[in-house]
């Protein structure tokens, strides 16, 4: 059994898990995804959870990326420090079983200054996608990446290295507001990149603040100023993503942003980034992840 005879790549996140059997030439032989994220695995049961992956996909070497390497995961894979490239990450793979089961480390950024662009920050999983997107020629080796999500990340890339990044609690904040806030009823509708979304984005890009912008959703509702029912969700999403984009764009002077992640979220970010006068291209997150894992395996 050797990596060059094929392997299993797993993107093991907080709430989901996605696994592929990859042939030596990089082609996908088989795959599955389920909701066995790390939060669904009791402490001490990760070995069994990983064995189940082999039962389904074959008794092959296995490389794991994502939150499985966090302090809530199987075992903590210490972060590599930014700036970091593919080689640094490969060298720091945490071997659960040498040469057979490894966890890709995340990347950390030490807090140079709380106010500076390079404050304390961490990522786990996105680095694999970034290196994969570059290796597969899906993005240039220099530039600015935006990775939307619960904790959205803006990542500056120079000479194939992750040099600086910033995480924004955009997705989590929207979810909290939708579920638990006084705005919950106004945020039930699906978010679409229409008039209300663009109004929120434009307000944020012009320097509008989240704290008062959000309350305005309630005020407009109480005063009957909504143009149409359900506009609150799109406006709130636009306001939050607009703030996210305004800050994220300060990480680089790029005219172009590469979006990596879920297509629906990437489309919303693309709409917001367009309002800021920048161009975007989109890279499928799973494709980038697989390309990154394949590159890492090549170094083994």
Coil vs helix vs strand at 262? coil
Q: Which of 159, 222, 253, 277 binds its own copies (CB under 8 A)?
A: 222
Verify binding: residue 71, its own copies, rule CB under 8 A.
Answer: yes
Coil vs helix vs strand at 228? coil
Q: Which of 169, 254, 267, 282 binds its own copies (CB under 8 A)?
A: 169
Answer for the pair 278, 256: CB distance below 8 angstroms, yes or no: yes
Verify binding: residue 210, its own copies, rule CB under 8 A.
Answer: yes
Q: Nearest approach, Cβ of 244 to its own copies (angstroms)?
A: 6
Q: Identify which range of 55-63, 87-95, 244-252, 255-263 contacts its own copies by CB under 8 A.
A: 244-252
Pair type for strands 256-261 and 143-147: parallel
Verify binding: residue 33, its own copies, rule CB under 8 A.
Answer: no
Coil vs helix vs strand at 144? strand
Q: Which of 99, 111, 141, 263 binds its own copies (CB under 8 A)?
A: 111
Q: Identify which range of 5-13, 127-135, 216-224, 253-261 contacts its own copies by CB under 8 A.
A: 216-224
Verify binding: residue 281, its own copies, rule CB under 8 A.
Answer: no
154-186 in b/e form (b: 16+ CB < 10 A) is: bbbbeeebbbbbbbbebbebbeebbeebebeeb
Nearest to 293 by CA among 5, 8, 4: 8
Q: Which of 244, 257, 285, 293 binds its own copies (CB under 8 A)?
A: 244
Verify binding: residue 185, its own copies, rule CB under 8 A.
Answer: no
Q: Is the dihedral of CA 58, 64, 65, 71 positive or negative?
A: positive
Verify binding: residue 182, its own copies, rule CB under 8 A.
Answer: yes
Name every residue whose Cβ is closer than 8 Å to that of residue 224 and which is 6 or more positions away in sequence. Answer: none
CB nearer to its own copies: pick between 5 and 225: 225
Task: Report H helices in 192-277.
Answer: 195-205, 210-222, 231-248, 263-275
Q: Identify which range of 55-63, 96-104, 172-180, 276-284 contacts its own copies by CB under 8 A.
A: 172-180
Residue 79 burial class via C-beta count within 10 angstroms: exposed 0-12, middle 13-18, buried 19 and up? buried
Nearest to 147 by CA among 119, 170, 177, 115: 170
Enclosing H/E stretch for 25: none
Verify binding: residue 172, its own copies, rule CB under 8 A.
Answer: yes
Q: Which of 219, 228, 229, 264 binds its own copies (CB under 8 A)?
A: 219
* Phi, psi values for residue 52, rounded to 5°: -65, -35
Verify binding: residue 177, its own copies, rule CB under 8 A.
Answer: yes
Q: Identify which range of 30-38, 40-48, 86-94, 177-185 contacts its own copies by CB under 8 A.
A: 177-185
CB nearer to its own copies: pick between 21 and 166: 166
Q: Applying CB under 8 A, which residues contact its own copies?
A: 71, 79, 108-111, 114-115, 119-122, 151, 166-170, 172-173, 176-177, 179-182, 199, 202-203, 206, 208-212, 214-216, 218-220, 222-223, 225, 240, 243-244, 246-247
């Amino acid at each position: 059994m050797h990596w060059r005879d094929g392997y299993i790549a797993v993107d093991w996140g907080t709430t989901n898990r996605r696994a592929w059997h990859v042939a030596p030439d990089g082609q996908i032989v088989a795959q599955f995804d389920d909701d066995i994220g790390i939060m669904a695995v009791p402490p001490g049961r990760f070995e069994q959870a990983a064995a189940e992956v082999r039962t389904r996909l074959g008794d092959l070497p296995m490389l794991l990326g994502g939150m499985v390497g966090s302090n809530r995961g199987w075992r903590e894979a210490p972060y590599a420090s930014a700036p970091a490239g593919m080689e640094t990450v490969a060298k720091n793979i945490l071997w659960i079983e040498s040469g057979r089961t490894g966890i890709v480390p995340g990347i950390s950024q030490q807090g140079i200054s709380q106010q500076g662009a390079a404050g304390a920050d961490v990522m786990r999983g996105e680095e694999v996608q970034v290196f994969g997107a570059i290796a597969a020629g899906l993005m240039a080796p220099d530039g600015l990446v935006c990775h939307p999500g619960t904790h959205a990340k803006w990542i500056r890339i120079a000479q194939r290295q992750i040099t600086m990044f910033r995480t924004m609690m955009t997705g989590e904040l929207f979810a909290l507001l939708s579920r638990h806030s006084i705005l919950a009823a106004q945020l039930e509708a699906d978010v679409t990149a229409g008039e209300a979304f663009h109004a929120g984005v434009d307000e944020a890009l012009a320097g509008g603040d989240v704290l008062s912008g959000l309350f305005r959703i309630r005020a407009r509702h109480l005063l009957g100023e909504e143009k149409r029912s359900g506009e609150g969700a799109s406006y709130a999403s636009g306001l939050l993503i607009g703030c996210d984009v305004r800050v994220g764009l300060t990480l680089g002077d790029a005219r172009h942003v590469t979006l990596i992640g879920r297509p629906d979220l990437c489309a919303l970010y693309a709409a917001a980034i367009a309002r800021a006068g920048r161009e975007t291209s989109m890279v499928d997150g799973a494709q980038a992840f697989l390309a990154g894992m394949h590159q890492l395996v090549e170094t083994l």
